[in-house]
Chains A and B, each alone.
Chain A
Amino acid sequence: MKTAAVILAVSVVAVALALLKVIPDYDVGLATTAAIMALFVMSLDLLSGFTGLESLGHASFFGTGAYVAAILALHGYDNALVAVAAGAVAATLLATAFAAIALRAIGPYFLIMTMALGYLPWSLAIKLRSFTGGDDGLSGLPRPQLFGFSLESGPAFFTFTLIATLVCGAIIVGIGRSSFGTTLRGIRGNASRMAALGYNVWLHKYACFLISAFFAGVAGALFAYYSSFVSPDVLGVGQSAEALVAMIVGGAGTMFGPALAAAVLMLLHSTVGSVFRYWNLLLGSIYIAVVLFAPNGVLAASRRLASGRRRA
């Protein structure tokens, strides 16, 4: 519980500083995005890291959540909880079909299949212009309100996002520690053995898919409101790939690692990326470096370093 206490303490401090306007709005915005991305990658980690179903199509759920929230916002539905829930539910509905098809593929085919499937929602978003704004996207989205409080201001929205992220994150971690989670880990280890033991492997994978899609949808809806804007990019392979690599860099299956990695990579992108023109070069080099020097993720490597120092 020490970890939970630390996270809670830091969050309370962050929120207080934001609300008291000690931290400038821009930085609050960055923190908001960091939280959203952390949630998104955590949801992916449940599916890909924890259960071993590496997916390059997770942005489909993120983007669906985003678009649904966006369309609701444009039509005047401004209840924050309803909109976010709607986005999450829509993402889950998409997952019912997506997972059914993707799970037909096995091994490495699964990864490529999810990548290919991910192109469908993206293509649809571009095609259905009257509905989704096509490749122009939907801009000028108003922020929602929660129990009468407007979430228009940066700090207010940050507070809402942080609470949502913490709650969802806690649920995801909880799922990981439950017996359902143990079964998932078993499936990642050796699916045929689990089947021999009598577990319905397909059903567990399917359920995991839906759950992780739900939380990706939450993150997506939050993202739409934060940016006041959605475009087909949020559904794209690039978004999926960024999330998957953040997960691997952070340490697949550890949940906290990917969440932190997502946040740090995003912050890195905002700071370094705006100064250094060739961001992809830097990012790619980081990935290669991680593989060469920290194959189990950055967190594990730092732990090794730390324990190495202590021994020495």
Chain B
Amino acid sequence: MTLSFWTIQALNALSFGTLLFLVAAGLSLIFGLMRIVNLAHGSFYMLGAYGALQVLTIVKNQLLATAIAVAFTAVLGAAIQRWLIERVSGNAMQQMLVTFGCLLVIGDLSLIAWHGTPAILPVPDFLNGTAILPGGIHFPVLRLAIIALGVALVIALDQAQSRTSVGAMVRAGADDLEMLSCLGVNVRTLFVCVFAFGAGLAGLGGALGGIFLGVAPGIDLELGLYAFIVVIVGGLGSIRGTFVASLLVAFIDNFSKALFPAVSMFAIFLLLVVVIAIRPTGLFGRRALS
């Protein structure tokens, strides 16, 4: 295996990893603050992709289409949190049931709207083509862009969490919700905003991922599963943990396919089992969980 082989594989893994981060970050945030296991998270990814596809039939600018699709998923997320999940806050089983119900409903509505035809988003012109990197390595521009975006987002989110007042609220809320509301923070609005943000991130993942992964019925479950594995491995509620775990999952997934294709299906689960055996709350998770 040449150096270029390893480099390409590493870059691939990095690009897939940042996509996973986009999807998983929202899930992790939502759980960290609200203790909600959102089984419908993959649905936001799917709606981001389908949404962008739909808007593109009217608007030609793909950036604008993506923005609109992301806004749509964020608003939908806000609505689901405000009118459905909020009613059963604190009851994990009911939350599971209602988010699962949303997963099914969104899935079938998408089928009605877009007929289940496998689709793929077009590559925007400015992201088209293959870049030639030092060493004569060919790598798609699109994937490089996703890496750049992902890294920028991680830094932004991390800074936001540690430096802004909203970030402080989220961190405080994750520690002690009652105290936070005593301090005058409107917890309900905070929850809605965070859920919307998480959903929007997943939608962004969909609008971007849809370009090279396509979108079809079932992708909500597929990406949803990846996201769940990432948050367990990384630890619910930690942005850094989610990022590290996304890369870890992507790298193991990628390299097992490249080197041991026969067992690549199991490699991720092996990672999961090993991590849980060593650190039950994930690599960066909090040790005690109320």
Contacts and interface: CB of A to CB of B under 8 A. Distances in A.
Task: Classify A-B as touching or not with yes or no (CB < 8 A).
Answer: yes
Interface string A167-194: 0000000000000000000000000000
Interface string B75-103: 00000000010011001111011101111
Contact of A123 (B91, B265, B289): B265
A271 B109 CA distance: 21
Interface in B88-140: 88, 91-94, 96-98, 100-109, 111-112
Band of interface residues on A:
35 or more
B100 A295 contact: no
B236 A284 contact: no
A287 B107 contact: no
Interface residues of B, number: 43
A108 B37 contact: yes
A248 B281 contact: no
Given A117-B269, A295-B91, A101 B100 contact: no
A268 interface: no
B88 A111 contact: no
Interface stretch (B10-18, B162-170, B272-280): B272-280
B281 A291 contact: no
Contacts of B276: 101, 104-105, 109, 113
Contacts of B111: 278
B147 interface: no
Contacts of B35: 108
Contact of B232 (A109, A252, A280, A287): A109
B229 A116 contact: yes
Given A112-B37, A116-B272, A127-B265, A284 B103 contact: yes
Contacts of B97: 245, 248-249, 287, 290-291
A292 B112 CA distance: 25
B255 interface: no
Contacts of A283: 101, 104
A60 to B, nearest CB: 12
Contacts of A290: 97
Nearest to B289: A107
Given A54-B93, A111-B96, A284-B102, A292 B107 contact: no
B87 A291 contact: yes
Given A116-B229, A123-B266, A281-B108, A105 B280 contact: yes
A288 B280 contact: no
Contact of B281 (A106, A117, A279, A280): A106
Given A54-B92, A278-B112, A288 B281 contact: no
Contact of A284 (B105, B269, B272): B105
Interface in B240-290: 265-266, 269, 272-273, 276-277, 280-282, 289
B273 A101 contact: yes
Interface string B152-186: 00000000000000000000000000000000000
Given A284-B104, A290-B97, A291-B94, A108 B109 contact: no
Contacts of B229: 112, 116
A285 interface: yes
A115 interface: yes
A42 to B, nearest CB: 17
Most buried by B among A107, A112, A249, A295: A112
Interface in A106-142: 106-109, 111-113, 115-117, 119-120, 123, 127
A115 B272 CA distance: 11
A291 B100 CA distance: 11
Interface string A51-88: 00010000000000000000000000000000000000
Nearest to B270: A120
A278 B115 CA distance: 12
Contacts of A119: 225, 269
B191 interface: no
Interface of B: 31, 35, 37, 84, 87-88, 91-94, 96-98, 100-109, 111-112, 221, 225, 228-229, 231-232, 236, 265-266, 269, 272-273, 276-277, 280-282, 289
24 contacts: A54-B93, A54-B96, A101-B277, A104-B280, A105-B232, A105-B276, A106-B280, A106-B281, A108-B92, A109-B236, A109-B281, A112-B37, A112-B232, A113-B276, A117-B269, A119-B225, A248-B93, A248-B94, A279-B108, A284-B108, A285-B101, A287-B97, A287-B100, A291-B98
Given A281-B109, A284-B101, 5 more contacts: A279-B108, A280-B104, A285-B101, A287-B100, A291-B101
